[in-house]
Amino acid sequence: MSERSSNSVAQSSLLRISLWRRFTDCFATSVAALTVVLVLLPLGAIFAYLVYRGIGSINWAFLTQTPKPVGEAGGGMANAIGGSVLILGIASLLGVPFGIGAGIYLAEYGRNRFGDIIRFTSDVLNGVPSIVIGIVAYSVVVLRQKHFSAVAGGFALAIMMVPTITRTTEEMLLLVPQSIREAAYGLGVPRWRTTLSITLRTATSGVITGVMLAFARVAGETAPLLFTAFGNQYWNLNVNQSTAALPLQIFTYAISPFDEWHRQAWAGALVLIVLIVGAVAAVRIAVRRGALAGANN
Amino acid sequence: MANQAFPRPQLTGQPVSQKTTVEPKTRPLPLMPSSSGEVADRLFGFAMLTCAVAILGLLVLIVYELVGRSQLSWHAFGWKFFAGRDWNPVEEHFGALPFIYGTLVSSLLALIIAVPLAVGVAVFTTEMCPKWLRGPLSFTTELLAAIPSVIYGLWAIFVLVPLLRQYVQPFLARTLGWTGLFEGPPYGIGMLAAGIILAIMIVPIISSITREVLMVVPQHQREGVLALGATRWEMIRIGVLRNARAGILGGVILGLGRALGETMAVTMVIGNRPEIARSLFAPGYTMASVIANEFSEATGDVYLSALIEIGLALFLVTIVVNALARLMVWSVTRGLPARAHV
């Protein structure tokens, strides 16, 4: 439509002005296209460099061994990968039920002033810097336990997961038509059963997507783990001990002066990105195929 | 439950969904699953309420812990804490001004770089590019948001910083050195690097909000301006951007909130020196990165308390910034779009 209008102006007698205007139009379009290039450039650069530096360093030893002392070549990040899985597991266990529960409350019971307060609180919580959440987890868990632990790290990440899960769950539940709920009530199904087996089930794929978004967001978080999970050079699966995590290990290695550690940091970063993107993509595909119960809406 | 009302015609006029709680005292009919359903309903509602209240509780917990644990430092330094330039853990004398300065300057620098880019991307994807390109483009920009902060930092250390040191900083010093903003030895690491990496990180959030806002500008607004003979750019400028500016500003402020609290990438490239320097080449320090670097090594209660007080300040600032941004975005996407161009 826009081409047609500028063409017709061009043919009219106002040629002098319209030349200038057409030039401005072209100029603005090219500037906008240029910004897109400028934004995509670092994205491409980061991924390309990540693969370029990381792929050569990923081998079996990297995935199965614990770090070697400084100066010795080899060793890997197995403990960090395991630790990340442990911490993320704890975080999901703590955060997902609360997030979904709060989402259900907002969608099914919270169409009122109190619901608005919760909604706003959850948005505010979403904006709290991760390092501040780390401080809170430190003073709530670490100071009481008197030592760093995987639980403290999981607690911090759980706090960060809740707001995202809550808001997406609410949004997804609201998409479920009211008539479906009323049909269930009409059949004599109690409200709790309707919510769980009808509404939530219809919205499963959306809710899971929300959970995965929250998961992907916290999987790469480093700041809240610095003084909660703290990091560890050895294997640890005890939830009450300080635990290594992939992002933490990448950070430690990246700011170290050793080339061997830099190499491993790139490999770790590649593994982390693959884990995050892989987890999200896997769930997306599973949901789309309807492999998960109730996802076929 | 709805069946309970069936033998009592005077209740049938009510909406179905309310009947579950209408008559707690009637005897259950033989076919109904007795009153246990009602108890379960109550329990379920209560459990969901608990989850919702837990969110409120979390915020209260954050405030309580931060305020409680920063008391020591507050009593020792008072307001002067935020004006003091001296950060001396050995003599236990703490002033947070260098960190506040570093946070503000790096975030503002990031905004100056990111806002034109983000708005340009949003305008291009919603108004200019062919339809088939729209989905892939917005997806790739969102992908930038999925990269963890520590990976940005890693990339910045090994790619961005050498690039700045070798090419960009000498160039800036030659051409714009007279402003005083670009002088001193080009380390690569410093305020400029922090600002650039922050800019890359906040572009996706600003552009996705801007896109959202642009999309709620009514179509007839565009058609009207086009019908008056405007070119596409004039249509965008007059009909779209002017209507959406409150929402775009909201997105920008939301990006600012993100930049203020960003920790890892900044910590890795800003140089971590508590100094206030005019030159953007000089190393600096931010509120978030001083907490990240020194928290687990803080010996002494006052030291720890001072760090937590910085955390409290950061928390309060980001809350105000975020609340402001949400309100502005809501004013466009929820309220009447026409109101925005007054």
- Span B252-276, average pLDDT: 93
Tokens of A129: 């810097």
Q: Any bridge partners for residue A67, and if so which?
A: A75
The pLDDT of residue B246 is 87
Distance between CA atoms of B66 and B70, rounded to whole angstroms? 6
Residues of B with Cβ-Cβ distance to A193 under 8 angstroms: 37, 40
Distance between CA atoms of A268 and B151, rounded to whole angstroms? 10
The pLDDT of residue B139 is 80
How distant is the Cα of B57 from the closest Cα of chain A, in angstroms?
10
* Burial of residue B256, with CB atoms counted within 10 A of its CB: 0-12 exposed, 13-18 middle, 19 or more buried: buried
Residue B341's pLDDT band (boundaries 50, 70, 90)? Answer: very low
Residues of A with Cβ-Cβ distance to B268 under 8 angstroms: 251, 254-255
In chain B, which residue ranges form alpha helices assigned H by DSSP?
Answer: 36-77, 97-123, 131-146, 149-155, 161-163, 169-176, 191-215, 219-227, 232-234, 242-261, 264-269, 287-294, 301-333
The pLDDT of residue A276 is 87
Mean pLDDT, rounded, of chain A: 87
DSSP 8-state assignment for residue B28 = P
Asked if B229 and A5 come within 8 Å (Cβ–Cβ), the reply is yes
Asked if A32 and B128 come within 8 Å (Cβ–Cβ), the reply is yes
Residue A55: CA count within 13 A, CB half-sphere: 6
- Pick the closest to residue B186 from B283, B93, B119, B291 (CA basis): B283
The pLDDT of residue A152 is 95
- Pick the closest to residue B263 from B239, B229, B287, B298 (CA basis): B287
Q: Which residues of chain A have pLDDT under 70?
A: 1-17, 288-297
C-alpha dihedral sign at B74, B75, B81, B86: negative
Tokens of B280: 């953007």
| B69, A139 contact by CB (below 8 A) | yes
B residues 23-42 closer than 8 Å to A (CB): 32-33, 37-38, 40-41
The pLDDT of residue A148 is 92
DSSP 8-state assignment for residue B179 = G
Asked if A32 and B121 come within 8 Å (Cβ–Cβ), the reply is yes
Tokens of B295: 């928290």
| B281, B295 contact by CB (below 8 A) | no
Asked if B231 and A9 come within 8 Å (Cβ–Cβ), the reply is yes
pLDDT tens per residue, range B303-332: 999 999 999 999 999 999 988 888 887 777
Asked if A98 and B144 come within 8 Å (Cβ–Cβ), the reply is no
Asked if A39 and B143 come within 8 Å (Cβ–Cβ), the reply is no
pLDDT tens per residue, range A101-155: 999 999 999 888 999 899 989 988 998 999 999 999 999 999 998 889 999 999 9
List C-alpha distances in Å: B128 to B114, B121, B131, B136, B234.
20, 10, 9, 14, 12
Residue B35's pLDDT band (boundaries 50, 70, 90)? Answer: low
Q: Residue B78, by phi and psi: left (phi above 0), alpha (psi -120 to 50) or beta?
A: left
The beta-carbon neighbor of B120 closest among A31, A121, A191 is A31
Distance between CA atoms of A137 and A150, rounded to whole angstroms? 11
How distant is the Cα of A170 from the closest Cα of chain B, in angstroms?
11
Dihedral pair phi/psi, residue B281, rounded to 5°: -80, -20
- Domains in chain B, CATH or no CATH each: 98-333 (1.10.3720.10)
Tokens of A194: 């309707």
Residue A220: CA count within 13 A, CB half-sphere: 28
- Span B211-219, average pLDDT: 90
What residues contact B73, with CB distance under 8 A and at least 6 apart?
B81, B94, B302, B305, B306, B308, B309
SS3 (DSSP) at B93: strand
DSSP 8-state assignment for residue A176 = S
Q: What count of other Cβ atoms lies within 10 Å of the Cβ of residue A162?
A: 28
The beta-carbon neighbor of B154 closest among A115, A221, A250 is A250
Is residue B100 pLDDT above 60, yes or no? Answer: yes
Q: Inter-axis angle of helices B191-215 and B97-123, to 10 degrees?
A: 40
Strand B87-88 and strand B93-94: the pairing is antiparallel
The beta-carbon neighbor of A135 closest among B203, B311, B318 is B311
Q: What count of other Cβ atoms lies within 10 Å of the Cβ of residue B293?
A: 17
Q: What count of other Cβ atoms lies within 10 Å of the Cβ of residue B81?
A: 19
- Span B66-89, average pLDDT: 92
Higher-pLDDT residue of A20, B291: B291
DSSP 8-state assignment for residue A273 = H
SS3 (DSSP) at A297: coil
The pLDDT of residue B12 is 41
Is residue B338 pLDDT above 80, yes or no? Answer: no
Mean pLDDT, rounded, of chain B: 85
What residues contact A227, with CB distance under 8 A and at least 6 apart?
A134, A135, A138, A142, A148, B295, B296
The pLDDT of residue B95 is 92
The pLDDT of residue A280 is 75
- Pick the closest to residue A141 from A83, A192, A91, A203 (CA basis): A91
Distance between CA atoms of A241 and A263, rounded to whole angstroms? 28
| B214, B123 contact by CB (below 8 A) | yes
Asked if B318 and A128 come within 8 Å (Cβ–Cβ), the reply is yes
Is residue B29 pLDDT above 80, yes or no? Answer: no
List C-alpha distances in Å: B214 to A200, B120, B207, B337.
32, 12, 10, 10
The pLDDT of residue B57 is 95
Asked if B41 and A185 come within 8 Å (Cβ–Cβ), the reply is no
Tokens of B76: 């020792």
The pLDDT of residue A179 is 92
The verdict on ipTM greater than 0.95 is no
- Domains in chain A, CATH or no CATH each: 60-296 (1.10.3720.10)
The pLDDT of residue B199 is 96
The pLDDT of residue B3 is 42
The pLDDT of residue B337 is 37
For A9-33, b where at least 16 C-beta lie within 10 A, e where not — what string? beeeeeeeebeebbeebeebbeebe
Tokens of B298: 């803080």
Residue whose token pair is 């320090």: B285
The pLDDT of residue B330 is 76
